[in-house]
Amino acid sequence: DGGEAFGLVTRAASVRGLFKRYLGGSRQDDFCLQLHVPTRTLLVAVADGVSAAPRSQLGAALAVRQAAAAVVRQLDADAAELDWSEVFSQAAWALVEEHRRACSDSSARMEDAAASLATTLTVAALTAGDDDSDGGPAGDGPGPRKHRLQVAAIGDSPTLVLSRGKFVRVVGEEEDPEGLIGGRVEALPRHTNPAVAEPRTLEPEDVLLVCTDGLALPLADGKGEVGRTLTRSEEHTSELQSHHDL
């Protein structure tokens, strides 16, 4: 998926890894993109279903859509700062309700829903700035846009910013280099208190990356070959366009 809006260029994809394709397993992650036109805000939600949960692909799909809808309701109410606890609580409750519907038990516990539908969730709200109509210091034309980022996460699906050739982790659990890949991770609906990053400003040439650990692990915060490859790709793209990329 992808497109352009508010001067932002967006690209999104969700694919199965080679091993999961070999096993014939389902894609357990999902994403949602949504625009809030009145505030010039692009919403991005990314979820990665916990592999041990048999219906986690549905949990991921529900989480991203419910979270995006919750953010839209707050923006409609002119919220300057997002109430992330409310956003993640509403996403978690949607998973509990789905489990109760599926098992025809209106009193099913949250723990049972977690065993079936557990998923990570990361949500970013990027509000695009307007051109500076007064121009730069010399008054010779519009100044560069700057964009405001708000982001929160539960689990190990991180948000990073590629700025001036370096990746900076904004939010999302870091993998323990001494630990096991795929170890225990915080997830909805059991956890509803997200890690919240301080709002930050992005420059027009910055790149915002919201991803699951399937990319974050080999990316290694830009320290490995994957990070160097993506950095080189962005440097080449920057020569061709002046838009802000996601």
Of residues 91 and 177, the one with the higher pLDDT is 91
Tens-digit pLDDT profile for residues 162-183: 998 889 999 976 655 444 444 5
pLDDT > 50? residue 241 = no
CA gap 246, 19 in Å, rounded: 27
The whole-chain average pLDDT of the chain stands at: 85
CA gap 48, 58 in Å, rounded: 10
- The whole-number pLDDT of residue 104 equals 97
CB 62 within 8 A of CB 117: yes
- Whats the size of the chain, residue-wise? 246
The DSSP output letter for 132 is B
pLDDT band at 233 (very low <50, low <70, confident <90, very high): low
CB 15 within 8 A of CB 27: yes
| Tokens found for residue 40 | 């010039």
Lowest mean pLDDT among 55-69, 106-120, 223-237: 223-237
Tens-digit pLDDT profile for residues 144-162: 678 999 999 999 999 999 9
Of residues 190 and 181, the one with the higher pLDDT is 190
pTM assigned to the model = 0.85
- The whole-number pLDDT of residue 180 equals 41
Instruction: Return phi, psi of residue 95, to 5°.
Output: -70, -40
Tokens 């920057």 correspond to: 238
- The whole-number pLDDT of residue 140 equals 53
Lowest mean pLDDT among 86-90, 109-113, 136-140, 211-215: 136-140
In the chain, pLDDT over 90 holds for what percent of residues?
Answer: 62
CB 146 within 8 A of CB 198: no
Give me the torsion for CA of 100, 32, 55, 182, rounded to 10°.
-130
Beta strand pairing call for 41-48 and 166-171: unpaired
Beta strand pairing call for 121-127 and 41-48: antiparallel
Of residues 236 and 185, the one with the higher pLDDT is 185
CA gap 90, 110 in Å, rounded: 13
Secondary structure tally for the chain: helices H, strands E: 6, 12
pLDDT > 50? residue 111 = yes
What does the pLDDT average to over 76-82? 95
Asked if residue 137 has a cis previous peptide bond (ω within 30° of 0), the answer is: no
3-class DSSP assignment, residue 141: coil
- The whole-number pLDDT of residue 227 equals 80
